[in-house]
A and B are shown apart, each in its own frame.
Chain A
Amino acid sequence: MSELTLREAAKKPEAIAPGHRLCAGCDETLIARMVLKASRGPMIVTSATGCLEVATTIFPYSAWNVPWIHTAFENAAANASGIEAAWRAMRRKGSGPLAKYETLDVVAFAGDGGTYDIGFQALSGALERGHDFTYVLVDNEAYMNTGIQRSGGTPFAASTTTSPAGKVIPGKREWKKPIDEIVIAHGIPYVATINAAWPMDVMRKARKAFEAEGPAFLHAIVPCARGWRYPPEKTIEVSRLATQTCLFPLYECRLEGGRPVYELSGPSTAVARRPESKKPVEEYLQMQGRFRHLFRPEKREDLIGSIQEWVDLNWQVLLEKAG
């Protein structure tokens, strides 16, 4: 395995050119650029319908410096399956335009809607079939492209346009779907969580994902200034807090001898070693307008407490797994 160095990453041309139309403070391009910096060489990228697709490719413009295809919302993993199958068959035949590439990094980007919800079946199928591709979940925790509707990835109590904080119901009533555990249960070789606040961690994990033989899954937390209601310059701060509060711990899970082996990554290892450094989830929540109703007109200690309990429990379970 070749560990990616900062020097190598810095030399790599950008896969996404500036001038695209994603919002100021958008975390999706940061993640996409970092992930693709780690590519080993030839690559083909596919994106599900969503902000990343819409804002980078308004015809006749394109921000993509790499071959890229979008077809629909729910099928990024199925598109990637076909691309990978095409490459594999051409290699076997020894003919066809992709036959000459010893490696081909096939990368699928999809949001939380395209992964937790509408694209879940295609993802599960592709993982089960074992295609050699990397699936990157850019999770901004709601359908941002259509105007902030709740998804299976939206956290408990978040106010969205279809789970609004009302007089009776305080935002989303369900907890976030444990997508990483579901993906890990497919027994794929590599799963990792990533956060743009730690770029080298993102790129090193992406390289591991590309090098894994079989499906790899990268789950990125991507704060959305518009949807989460915070000033655009705070994206990295919010993102960092997600990990520092252990709401979104950073870890990897590799398959060794058929068993999932969990390993905490640097920023989360630091918290595990010094539990007193774990920040209260309230600090994270109060930065975001989507949780405003937990603080105003009156503080909802009950709900904040529930969220803290949920975070603590999941963190504890992860610590047990990561030994």
Chain B
Amino acid sequence: MKGQILIGMNGDEAAAYSTKQVNPEVVAAYPITPQTIIVERFSEYVADGEVDTEFVAVESEHSALSSCIGAAAAGARAFTATAANGLALMWEMTYIASSLRLPIVMAIANRALSGPINIHNDHSDSMGARDSGWIQIYCENSQEVYDACIAAWRIGEHPDVQLPVMVCLDGFTLSHTMENVMTLTDEAVQEFVGKRRFITVKGHMGETEFRLNPEVPLTMGPLDLQDYYFEHKMQQIDAMELALKAIPEVDAEYAKVSGRSYDFLHPYRMEDAEVALLGLGSTMGTVHYVVDQLRSEGVKAGLIKMRVFRPFPAEELIEVVGDLPALGVLDKAASFGAPGGPLYEEVKSVFYDEDRRPLIADYIHGLGGRDTSPSMIRGVYETLMGIKREGEVPEKVSYVGVRG
């Protein structure tokens, strides 16, 4: 597409740069490795007068999201970014942001949750927030981070959705790794995101836009008990359902502007695949490499990269999996005491009611930033081939790359 410029950026810089182009009213953030570059770069844009944004250098992540909530309720676009313990400290506010239906955008530089303290990548932080009512997009590379941090506004602000969005990028693997990123012009980004639009609601003082309006006051965040709470939760459930329709709309529009198409799931070599791996984020780049190797050796291997985890694209997954005999799920988070990792459990539930379903095995890998090498992935495909051959899953959950 015309006017795009190639810039060398790491994932954090891509998040900061796209946010600069969006020029939101408020960015409230607190530093935490490996997200720090996002707030540093953005602070530079503020210091150099390149944005109109009010940068609120808060004293904690809890206040970061609380400030974003205040700002978004007042009608602003509000952005924040965090990781691991920072997201854990925000915990309470993540649920409140989504239940107040505020389309905040938050970048998560995925990092292992303490303890023991560890600064490297896994998905224990954002997976813990999977029930918080946020849309979750997982990125494979800096390009995806850049694009998602722009599309996220339109997804979250979609009149049928009105939900906050997490853009997840793997700590260090993406956050600190320089890559080529095709960037839109500022004008193209501005045109794409437009001005924030508000839905109209019926408040106790009359009909008004859904924001804190001094002229037609609304009460936001009231006490909501047995008689209404459940209905309000249903609205959130419905909004996630509607997001399944809204996301492809926004993605299609973004594709027109950028030439880059995104979907819930990105399958690769799946048409005739006999074994495949499903996973999130940067690991899928390694998997891609291994699939190519295996294909050149005559193995019918494929992969499915899941870009959108919330809402969970169940129907799309069923369709993409098709007649695949054996599916491995790559989980970069453990769920202690559960039957398996979080992604595995959801994938299995989706297929429970299907007549046509693959044998499914879980591969928990990369905890605390443990490297997941091509040879490990190759090993995983080998076990999948065994599963396919035997027609059964001897070990439902395996741990890849851990010492015995």
- Asked if residues A89 and B214 are in contact (CB atoms below 8 Å), the reply is no
Interface 1/0 per residue, A68-99 and B, CB below 8 Å:
11111011011111110111111011011110
- Asked if residues B66 and A89 are in contact (CB atoms below 8 Å), the reply is no
- Asked if residues A81 and B214 are in contact (CB atoms below 8 Å), the reply is no
Partner of B73, one of A59, A69, A90, A126: A69
Which residues of A are found within 8 Å of B78, using beta-carbon distances?
A: 82, 86
Given contacts A68-B217, A93-B25, A96-B75, contact A86 B225 (CB under 8 A): no
Highest count of chain A CB atoms <10 Å: which of B63, B195, B217: B63
Given contacts A71-B100, A97-B209, contact A82 B67 (CB under 8 A): yes
Identify which of B37-45, B50-58, B288-296 touches chain A: B50-58
- Check if A121 is an interface residue, CB within 8 A of chain B: yes
- Check if B228 is an interface residue, CB within 8 A of chain A: yes
Q: Which residue of B lies closest to A21 (CB)?
A: B223
- Asked if residues B53 and A81 are in contact (CB atoms below 8 Å), the reply is no
Which residues of B are found within 8 Å of A71, using beta-carbon distances?
A: 66, 69-70, 93, 96, 100, 221
For the residues of B in contact with A, the DSSP-based class is loop
Nearest Cβ in chain B — how far from A6, in angstroms? 24
- Check if A66 is an interface residue, CB within 8 A of chain B: yes
Complex Cα–Cα for A315 and B86 (A): 43
Interface 1/0 per residue, B202-242 and A, CB below 8 Å:
00110001011111011111111101100000000000000
- Check if A58 is an interface residue, CB within 8 A of chain B: yes
Nearest Cβ in chain B — how far from A50, in angstroms? 11
- The B310-362 residues at the A interface (CB cut-off 8 A) are none
Which residues of B are found within 8 Å of A101, using beta-carbon distances?
A: 214
- Check if B60 is an interface residue, CB within 8 A of chain A: yes
- Asked if residues A67 and B212 are in contact (CB atoms below 8 Å), the reply is yes
- Asked if residues A124 and B70 are in contact (CB atoms below 8 Å), the reply is no
- Check if A283 is an interface residue, CB within 8 A of chain B: no
Complex Cα–Cα for A85 and B219 (A): 20
Q: Which residue of A lies closest to B60 (CB)?
A: A121
Q: Which residue of B lies closest to A47 (CB)?
A: B221
Given contacts A78-B62, A79-B69, A125-B59, contact A88 B54 (CB under 8 A): yes
Interface 1/0 per residue, A92-117 and B, CB below 8 Å:
11011110010010000000000000
- Check if A200 is an interface residue, CB within 8 A of chain B: no
Partner of A95, one of B68, B195, B198: B195
- Check if A60 is an interface residue, CB within 8 A of chain B: yes
Complex Cα–Cα for A90 and B72 (A): 12
Which residues of A are found within 8 Å of B56, using beta-carbon distances?
A: 81-82, 85, 129
Identify which of A38-46, A176-184, A270-278 touches chain B: A38-46
Interface 1/0 per residue, B181-206 and A, CB below 8 Å:
00000000000000110100000110
Q: Which residue of B lies closest to A41 (CB)?
A: B214
Which residues of B are found within 8 Å of A95, using beta-carbon distances?
A: 195
Q: Identify 12 residue pairs between A and B in the complex whose beta-carbon atoms are under 8 Å apart, listed by A's number.
A: A46-B70, A57-B219, A59-B227, A60-B228, A71-B70, A79-B69, A82-B56, A82-B69, A83-B71, A89-B76, A97-B209, A126-B63
Known: A70-B221, A97-B198. 13 other contacts (CB 8 A): A57-B219, A59-B224, A59-B228, A60-B228, A64-B217, A67-B212, A67-B217, A69-B212, A75-B62, A81-B58, A83-B74, A93-B25, A125-B58
The interface of chain B, by Cβ under 8 A from chain A, is 25-26, 28, 52-54, 56-60, 62-63, 66-76, 78, 92-93, 96, 100, 195-196, 198, 204-205, 209, 211-215, 217-225, 227-228
Please list the 8 inter-chain residue pairs (A to B) with the smallest Cβ-Cβ separation, ordered nearest first: A82-B70, A125-B59, A57-B222, A82-B67, A78-B66, A86-B76, A89-B25, A78-B63
